[in-house]
Amino acid sequence: MSSETAFHADALLELGFLAGHHGLESNSDGPFVWCFGQFRLHTPAAKFLNLKFAYLAPTGSMTITRDGGLVDQIELRHGWQEVSLRLPATAGWIDIIVDPVPPVAEDTRELAVMLQTATFFDNEARHSLRRAAVANDILNDQEYRNGEVVLTSHPPNLRVNTETRCNIPETSQACTYCDWDQVKWEEKGSAPFRLETLDELGEFYQSATAVNDCSTGEPTMNRQFGDILLRFHRDGKPFSFTTNGQLLVEKRRRELLGKNVSVYVSLDSASKAGFQRYRNDRFDPIVRNLRALCHEKRSHGNLPRVHVSIIAMRSNMHELAAYFDLVKEIGVDEVKVRSLVISDNPPPAFKNNGFLFDYEAETLSMRELHELTPVIRQLADSRDVRVCMEWEEFERPEIHGEGEPLCAEPWKTLYVLNRGILPCAFGVRPLANRNQQGNRTLDEFLHDVFNSEEYQEIRAELAAGRMPRYCRESLGCPVLKRMAPGERGAEPSDLGQGARPSPLVK
């Protein structure tokens, strides 16, 4: 094999490469197939197989055999995961056995794994790195479920910011809702993100199963953007980032094609005039770049995944139908609807490109967002466009299981940002600043922070079913917002988000 070949569930079925399943289905993440406890896959002559699927038992195993002989075996954990498996030396059918197959409430079918993609590749180093990351992921999940306070594992989700500069505030005023000045003040003096930063992150990078960019800045401005993407690709690390789309020119698009990357392009309006209210007059070039990327990726295994990101605000509600028409025509993979994060000290109403922007008036309450949910779903479904609403994601029941800590973030995710180290997207203050690293390597510094006293206190409280002080300060926290006022120890906020703008999770 040259490099790698990826097949989504629908392609596997079309090509007749999969046997032992319940047929094609799809959800907001795309097409998938539920496979039986024993199913078969036809493999090309490749050394390794990367499978992406969800598994519903707490733990289990996946075994690969050919003609009854063991080829490889790997442990599984609950939830979505990507595992790397060794393949037999020659092309042909393999048997995949999943054990146990958990019973699923209200569905009597044999549901072993919910398979989304199969990727075949030859790179031994990538396989080893993925195996180590998966082993860390299993250990981390056990430590989370047991409510351990001091961890030996590393967080599987690594969040970084690859760029602190941005072309919009460099040429005009920052986007109306962006907390630009405050974040730049907090980032002052921190080192820029370079390709070598990935090595400096040491085990925190090697153990990560996915890397997300949370820049308050424009990632496509990083001079090593292409090299960084290539490194993620070679190391088998799925990557996601948000961009204003203005610099997604041919060179940048070429760097993205065929890579396991999720690109979120910020587009808050269906028209040039509407877009200008929040950003600038570059609506047409962004739409051109988006259209080109959606077209070009078709001949590159449909990668990267292209999402558009819209903040639901009072002033763009009337445009939603036109918005879904536009993105349907462009051919994006998904629309992500976010809510406006309001600062605890929002500026008074101000003008951008002649339009008045009033934070408080623009913000939709939690009740309004819930009323909007079926409207958005209908607009999307009637056009066959996939949509995901940020406020719904945090309400999925699998996020917090019976007897587990109230929230998984301080176990599973780490934000290594220029403005500091945070345990969560909604955290209002860093648990450590970058200038506290001193003579330690970044890896050593992060080890110390990840098991620091305050981190331990956060985990201990969450494991005991209480909201830690740190989380009670984070008024945007969806776990806090779900709790009854008496349980949370902080006054409820009816705003869509609380506190100050935080790094946003894709």
What does the binding site for ligand SF4 look like in residue numbers (CB under 6 A)?
Answer: 166, 168-169, 174-175, 178, 180, 216-218, 244
174 binds, among ligand SAM, ligand SF4, none (CB under 5 to 8 A by kind): ligand SF4
Find the radius of gyration of the CA atoms of the chain: 23
Under the binding rule (CB under 6 A), the answer on residue 240 touching ligand SAM is no
Site string for ligand SAM, 244-283 (x = CB under 6 A): x---------------------x-----------------
For position 140 contacting ligand SAM by CB under 6 A, the verdict is no
Contact status: 243 vs ligand SAM (CB under 6 A): yes
Contact 229, 197 (CB under 8 A): no
4 binds, among ligand SAM, ligand SF4, none (CB under 5 to 8 A by kind): none
Q: List Cα–Cα distances, 321 to 81, 365, 378, in angstroms.
A: 35, 21, 10
Determine if 221 is a binding residue for ligand SAM (CB under 6 A): no
Strands 4-8 and 48-66: unpaired
In the list ligand SF4, ligand SAM, none, the entry touching 309 (Cβ below 5 to 8 angstroms by class) is ligand SAM
- Strand runs labelled E in 340-448: 350-352, 355-357, 387-389, 413-417, 420-422
216 lines the binding site for ligand SAM (CB under 6 A): yes
Structure tokens at 245: 């789309």
Task: With contacts defined by CB under 6 A, name the span among 214-222, 372-380, 421-429, 481-489 that binds ligand SAM.
Answer: 214-222
- CB-CB neighbours of 317 under 10 Å: 12
306 binds ligand SAM (CB under 6 A): no
| Contact partners, residue 27, CB within 8 Å, separation at least 6 | none
The entry of ligand SF4, ligand SAM, none near residue 501 (CB within 5 to 8 angstroms by kind) is ligand SAM
Quote the CA–CA distance of 392 and 220 in Å, as a whole number.
Answer: 29
CA distance 115 to 92: 19
How far is 77 from 65, CA to CA, in rounded Å?
20
User: Which of ligand SF4, ligand SAM, none interacts with 311 (beta carbon under 5 to 8 A by kind)?
Assistant: ligand SAM
* Segment near ligand SAM (CB under 6 A); pick from 43-51, 333-341, 365-373, 377-385: 333-341
Q: For residue 311, state whether it binds ligand SAM (rule: CB under 6 A).
A: yes
Say which DSSP state 149 is in. S
CA distance 159 to 172: 28
Question: What residue ranges bind ligand SAM (CB under 6 A)?
Answer: 166, 177-178, 215-216, 218, 242-244, 266, 309, 311, 338, 340-341, 501, 504
